[in-house]
Every structure is written in structure tokens, then in C-alpha cells.
Amino acid sequence: MKIKDVKVYLVNAVWRNFVITKIDTDEGISGYGEGTMGDFEKTVEAAIYDFKPFLIGREINIQEIYNFLYRHFFWRGGPILMTAISAIEQALWDILGKSVNKPVYELLGGKVRDSVRVYANGFISGDRSPEEFANAVRGVVEMGFNAVKIDPFGGSGPKINNEDLEKAKDRLRAIRDSVGYSIDIMIDAHGRFNPTSAIKSVEVVSSLSYLYLYNEYYLWVGSLYLGKTFLVPLVVVIMLLSVVGLWVGRSFCVGIVVSTSWVMLVIIIILGS
């Protein structure tokens, strides 16, 4: 079974486009993969089409194709190319699963659980007042969610002033007053704080019981200090791993995780699948 064609579709999703790749084969089986980053959808689309001439006519040998796309070119890595490779690999796995009439998870070794806990994200709008945060969280809790991810810090970064810190604390306090401590709160700082501001933010909000702080740290020394000093779970920098690539990233993660308390949030699409 060989690759016959590669297409990319940009699917409107209100404030972004989903990047969907379709790979057709000469046996009539098609597979789909996603290459959505949140930004640069046209750039990812172009990268997939740049790979297309090297895919047409190839047998569906997933690891061989992956190795070629990653290793063959002099300039490699980075979130754009790794996302493009990820979309292609997902589509190839989809084709393989359809060809043997099996779900992909069975081809990868089988399932290890029957359910996966999920959290609500991207559900807060309006004036971002403490009341708005509380009402929005209460709404998703009533829908059945028992965990939420929010950004209480506004537009601050890489530095944050005392006023914005107090606003963040007021928002979190309003949430706790509204729904109590029966839900988990994950704080997403969107990777914009330097170590000093990250430490300040932890000092202010740590009393309000959150599950982890998601800051995508680029400065490892400050991150390690933060984790050891406050014993706060931190999220590994997936964007950096996408730059160095999947193989180096695996080893890099192991060294960092054993150094402090971390949450491994693996964004498979950007990491390269």
C-alpha cells in the first residue's frame, strides 16, 4: 500500500483554524492527522506540502517515513516542522489501523485504562472580574467537570506588578468561595513569566490550593529553584523539546523530572507525535 496523495484542510474553529491532514493511498484507504498549533496554521500547511513530494509513492512504513522526515534534511526540528511531521504520522497510523480493522491504541500495545479524567479550559470571557471567574467555573462544575485550567494573571509578563498579583489572588479566592475545594485548579501562566515573577506568583496564590502551575519555563535554573523551594508541581517545557526533537527530548525530560516536582504535559502534536 503506497501513498497516493496528501492534502491539508484548514477547518474554521471560531478564533483559530484546525489543521487537518489527509493522506490517500492507492488501495483507497485514507487517513487523517491533526497539525493544529493555535497559530501559524498557514505555515504548518506549507511545511506539510513541502514534505509531500517526498511522501508520494512511499510504502506505509511509519517508522521509516518518520525517520526520513526528521533526519533527511539539514535544517530540522522546531515547532513548525515537528507539528507537520506529527500530522503526517497520525494520518499514517490512521491508515494502518483502518487497513487491519483495528483501533490504533491496540496497535500500540492496548489500553491501560477505561476512562481519562478531563478538565475545562478556555471557558472564561467577559470583563475577567472575580465574579466572572467564579460564575464561569461554577457553570462548568455544574456540567460535571471537577477540574479547570485558568489564567488569573491578565496580560502581565514577563514581569508582574503587585496590583496584577492581587487581582489574580482575588479571582482565585472568588472561585474557591463559589465552588469550594472539591475541584482542582490548574494555573496556566502561558509561559510568559521570568523566574522572579514566577516566584512572586507562587507566593501569592499558593494558599489557594492548585494542582499545578503551567508556565513552560525556558530558564531551567529558576524553574528548579521554584520547584524545590515551594514544592509546587511545574509543567515541563514542551516547546523547548520540540526544538531539540523527540529523541533528545525524551532524555532531557528524564533528567529534569528527577530534579524536582514536575508534571509531564506532553503536547504530542508539537513534540512530533
The whole-angstrom distance between residue 22's C-alpha and the CA centroid of its chain comes to 22
List, in order, residues 6 or more apart from 56 with CB less than 8 Å away: 3, 4, 5, 6
The one-letter amino acid at 80:
I
pLDDT band at residue 271 using 50, 70 and 90 as cut-offs = confident
> Which residues make beta-bridge pairs with 188?
214
- 129 against 76, higher pLDDT: 129
Report d(CA 254, CA 273) in Å as an integer: 18
pLDDT band at residue 214 using 50, 70 and 90 as cut-offs = low
Q: What is the pLDDT of residue 211?
A: 62
Q: What is the pLDDT of residue 132?
A: 94
Contact 96, 103 (CB under 8 A): no
Per the listing, cell 509513492 goes with 57
**Tell me: the pLDDT tens digits for 32-85?**
999 998 889 999 999 999 999 999 999 999 999 999 999 999 888 888 999 999
Cα Rg of the chain, angstroms: 21
All structural domains of the chain, each given as residue ranges with its CATH number in brackets, are 3-107 (3.30.390.10), 120-213 (3.20.20.120)
